[in-house]
Amino acid sequence: MKDRLAQLKEFKTLSRVAIKWVPGSVFVEPVFDHGFFCQKTDQTPEDVEIQMENKEFMDEFFSQIEEIRAGIDKIDENVTEIKRLYSVILSAPTSEQKTQDDLETITNEIKKFANNVRNKLKSIEQSLESNAEERVSADIRIKKSQHAVLARKFVEVMTRYNEAQVEFREKSKGRIQRQLEITGKSTTDEELEEMLDGGNAAVFTAGIMDSAISKQALSEIEARHKDIMRLESSIKELHDMFVDIAMLVENQGSIIDRIESNMDQSVGFVERAVADTKKAAKFQQEARR
């Protein structure tokens, strides 16, 4: 099978409502963009038009798709920024208030956009379920494919966010352990987790000697503890959303798996349709003579 990435680079995008045959191309299953991918071929068929049903409704649907994709892109940008802020926070014993404010703003933005994207995807999913009894039309196939790909992309972005959070927590925890060692208080991972679960910084600082080194270590321990508490609060708020996101992909995963096979099947279908069209045109010309 040809490399799919190479194929996608060769794809051309067609009209999103009526598919006009492009000479040298083959119609395939619509995937991510609000058009249709066409795979190059050496054929030079006559124009063939595949008309989709319910033009106005599909325009509205593709408008929704654009909004969802823009939301996912914004989350992706914010995740990149939040990873940068995590690095800034970890690079100093204590972080500036502005950095903490920026982190809180970006975290709230991610939550807002993620909720919006999740609700829109769930709305489309419910619409598809309510139309499950209807005959399978081009409209429904397009909606399922678009929804499946966007849901998978959403999961990828939110997983990247979750991984960044977990990495930040582990590094913050490591800093606490190192500072405790400086003050003469060694802890195991299990002991540290128990301390963190308690949510009380005094557990870390009890009995630390009053010295310049100990005070500096104490300051960082308290700062890292606050970072972890804020982070865990954010993770808890997003817990239900992560569950919903996982369900979206679980429900649509089979569609994703079928897309590649559908692409190959569609290529064969359209090639046959083009051949039939050319035959029909030839018969029509002969009939006119």
26 and 61 in a single domain? The answer is no
* Residue 3 falls in which region: left (phi positive, over 0), alpha (psi -120 to 50) or beta: beta
Check whether residue 219 and residue 149 sit in a common domain.
yes
User: Beta strand 37-40 with 49-51: parallel, antiparallel or unpaired?
Assistant: unpaired
Phi-psi region of 197 (alpha: psi -120 to 50; beta: other; left: phi over 0): alpha
Residues 226 and 170 occupy one common structural domain: yes
Same domain, 48 and 112: no
The number of folded domains in the chain is 2
99 plus 76 within the same structural domain = yes
Pairwise CA distance, residues 285 & 268, whole Å: 26
Q: According to DSSP H, which parts of 183-289 are helical?
A: 189-198, 202-205, 212-288
Instruction: Tell me phi and psi for residue 12, to 5 degrees.
Output: -115, 150
Least confident of 38-52, 123-137, 176-190: 38-52
Please state, in angstroms and as integers, the Cα–Cα distance from residue 262 to each residue in 99, 134, 153, 188, 252, following that order: 48, 20, 19, 53, 15
- CB 62, CB 55: distance < 8 Å: no
Shared domain for 160 and 76, answered yes or no, is yes
Statement to judge: residues 166 and 202 lie in one domain: yes
Quick one: 103 and 233 in the same domain? yes
| Same domain flag for 208 and 246 | yes
Residue 57 CB contacts under 8 Å (≥ 6 apart), including other chains: 139
pLDDT band at 59 (very low <50, low <70, confident <90, very high): confident
* Model confidence pLDDT, tens digit, residues 257-275: 444 444 444 444 444 444 5
| Residue 127 β-bridge partners | none
Residues 100 and 142 in one domain: yes
Contacts (Cβ under 8 Å, ≥6 apart) of 159: none
The domain that holds 74 is classified in CATH as: 1.20.58.70
Task: Tell me the residue range of the domain where 21 lies.
Answer: 4-52+265-288
Q: What is the distance in angstroms between the CA of the first residue and the CA of the last residue of the chain? A: 45
* Residue 48's pLDDT band (cuts 50, 70, 90): very low
Rg (CA), the chain: 27
Residue 169 pLDDT: 86
Instruction: Give the pLDDT confidence score for residue 173 in this predicted structure.
Output: 83
pLDDT digits (tens, 9 = 90+) for 108-136: 999 999 999 999 998 888 888 776 655 55
Tell whether 176 and 276 lie within a shared domain: no
- Do residue 25 and residue 111 come from a single domain? no
